[in-house]
Structure 1
């Protein structure tokens, strides 16, 4: 395998590389959906093997479409070179397996972490049935696995490890979970800060404000819903990749929302409020039929202590808990 040396072309594929904001987007599916909608081919790069220490673990991905990139692997050690190979794959359609770091044939590319990264780069055609299937599974919030040898690509439905691969015959299987969602009910500065921060950190943020203003919030959210909380949750559907935070400060809405979220299997359920209100709220939920197991999953007065009580400080502490709860690394299976 030859190394690409056209650094200008590599930089073109990493548009804005002086300020590599492409690394902020970790889920390649939104960029893939845009590419397919525009009839563009994409180069998908998947980190399938890590030796030693590395910034990202197996399963990390980058997507290259036109002059845009999404995702990152190493914090600027190899992204430019991967972009060059992606350009080749887009041009000729031939998959490439790349090896960086320890044992690599490219001694001029050093990984500051001292490990080794193995990456598959494959072309996804704009009419790819597998890519369309992958996006449909995300829309329906179902788990699936992208399995590929670099040329033959297929979607396998069902649960599997996040990443697995085989050498002979070579194949990579990368699991895709439903996009992470954060549903916040409320309309005070704290609720708005949490919804805003959720959007900024890559969540599909949904703001529920019963009988709220007709105008949309002054920042982007995936959805703005004005119906009662329990009704909204029933309509949206719940799963373990969804977090719900009740922040209306009205038990009429927050208690019903938490009960619906607990029974719906949400991966994180919390209610903002003073600690002095906790006993009464727990009693009300028991009276409404909540089991002890369900209540054990409920977080009252959520967040990280000591950050402060300003809206952004509270939101940061809560979102940190949400990220930890929904992190695939927390899975026991």
Structure 2
């Protein structure tokens, strides 16, 4: 989920001043939609805007809808798509289509549950699209537990036939525990989007929207060179929680790594083992070894390749890579794990400076996380332009 920078603070400021606003959320997208599902935008009285939904294609119409929503106090749902008839009609010129749900937030009662949606704290928010003011929010990791969702779901569905007050079944006998399991499964997968499907629609249950905000993905860089500093800066720019780790303290200083969220003067493999044991790494995490020292690189890579990480890369020449692969095999790293190592690291973009190196590495990370085994120029591809990196 992508609420956007400063939305929570803006909403709080407007509420404190008694100023109503509307929350516009991208709840569905098809084709080449420029922003991911879950992206939100705030519109206050007077047309003051925070955030964006499409990069400029539909914002003007959304603002007009939002002002109507504030005045009427009722949510509106709009669908926008490319128009073949006239370029002046509101739509997405990129060729995709999106659905936007605009809901009023006129006081703190209507803001209940929005803090978890707009704040950066890890949380999952569930609401009914027919009554978006009715929301349920659970913090992570509690939201991964189906049992934790049963009571909030019962409250959300309480007005529907057959649900009762906190009953065990939904309309027409869908067990609440099965619906809770679906929600928890979506949270665990980081899946922001509509929760419907034929099973729910056939029962008359309301359509639900699940918004999941997980902590930023981790980028752990081993090394103290200018290339490491540039990689950390590029990673932070892309929204990663960045760590530089190296046992040599001389060059590992905040002044050399201003973009690092944290600096760890210790052996990287020990640090990574501790982070894994503490549950602070996941399937989105990235590890890059740039140390050029086998004493540091080899144990880190040997461990990293056994963990369920998104990307493991190592810097070095082709000769260095061949020698590294031999050493890792001698340490017992399996052929399947060795296949996961991105070395020499990065894509061949033709650059040479530390900044260009960092761009090539993070470009490869984006491609790997987005399932692009062999990235190509967009002009040589077909289909939607905007990929979706799994949450």
1:109 aligned partner: 90
CA distance in structure 2 between the partners assigned to 1:47 and 1:148 by the alignment: 14
- 1:180 aligned residue (184, 196, 217): 217
**Paired residues for 1:269-280 under 5 Å:** 269-280=312-323
1:82 aligned partner: 62
Asked whether the 8 Å contact 1:58–1:163 carries over to 2, the reply is no
Distance 1:251 1:85, change over 3 A: farther
- 1:45 aligned residue (11, 16, 24): 24
CA distance in structure 2 between the partners assigned to 1:189 and 1:209 by the alignment: 14
Q: Does 1:69 align with 2:44?
A: no
Q: Secondary structure at the match of 1:151?
A: strand
Unaligned runs of 5+ in 1: 1-25
CA distance in structure 2 between the partners assigned to 1:216 and 1:254 by the alignment: 24
Distance 1:266 1:48, change over 3 A: same
- 2:78 aligned residue (76, 95, 98): 98
State which structure, 1 or 2, has the greater radius of gyration over its C-alpha atoms: 2
Q: Secondary structure at the match of 1:184?
A: strand
Unaligned runs of 5+ in 2: 138-142, 145-183, 372-387
- 1:227 aligned residue (243, 255, 266): 266
Normalization by structure 1: what TM-score? 0.73
CA distance in structure 2 between the partners assigned to 1:173 and 1:34 by the alignment: 22
1:303 aligned partner: 346
Asked whether the 8 Å contact 1:43–1:90 carries over to 2, the reply is yes
Normalization by structure 2: what TM-score? 0.63
Distance 1:293 1:35, change over 3 A: farther
Pairs aligned (count)? 298
Between 1:77-86 and 1:314-323, the stretch displaced more is: 77-86
Q: Does 1:190 align with 2:227?
A: yes
Q: Secondary structure at the match of 1:152?
A: strand
Q: Secondary structure at the match of 1:263?
A: coil
Superposed displacement of residue 238, structure 1:
2.0
2:2 aligned partner: 27
Q: Does 1:257 align with 2:296?
A: no
2:385 aligned partner: none
2:237 aligned partner: 200
CA distance in structure 2 between the partners assigned to 1:164 and 1:259 by the alignment: 40
Q: Secondary structure at the match of 1:269?
A: strand
Q: Secondary structure at the match of 2:57?
A: coil
User: What are the Cα deviations for residues 120-175 of structure 1, in whole angstroms up to 9, with x where unaligned?
Assistant: 1345759745744996873xxx8x56444312222453332442344762322344
Superposed displacement of residue 114, structure 1:
4.9
User: What are the Cα deviations for residues 3-30 of structure 1, in whole angstroms up to 9, with x where unaligned?
Assistant: xxxxxxxxxxxxxxxxxxxxxxx83276
User: What are the Cα deviations for residues 43-85 of structure 1, in whole angstroms up to 9, with x where unaligned?
Assistant: 543322345x443366151232775623432x31212332444
Asked whether the 8 Å contact 1:217–1:224 carries over to 2, the reply is no
User: What are the Cα deviations for residues 173-226 of structure 1, in whole angstroms up to 9, with x where unaligned?
Assistant: 344444222222212121111111111222222222432444344533322222
CA distance in structure 2 between the partners assigned to 1:216 and 1:153 by the alignment: 44
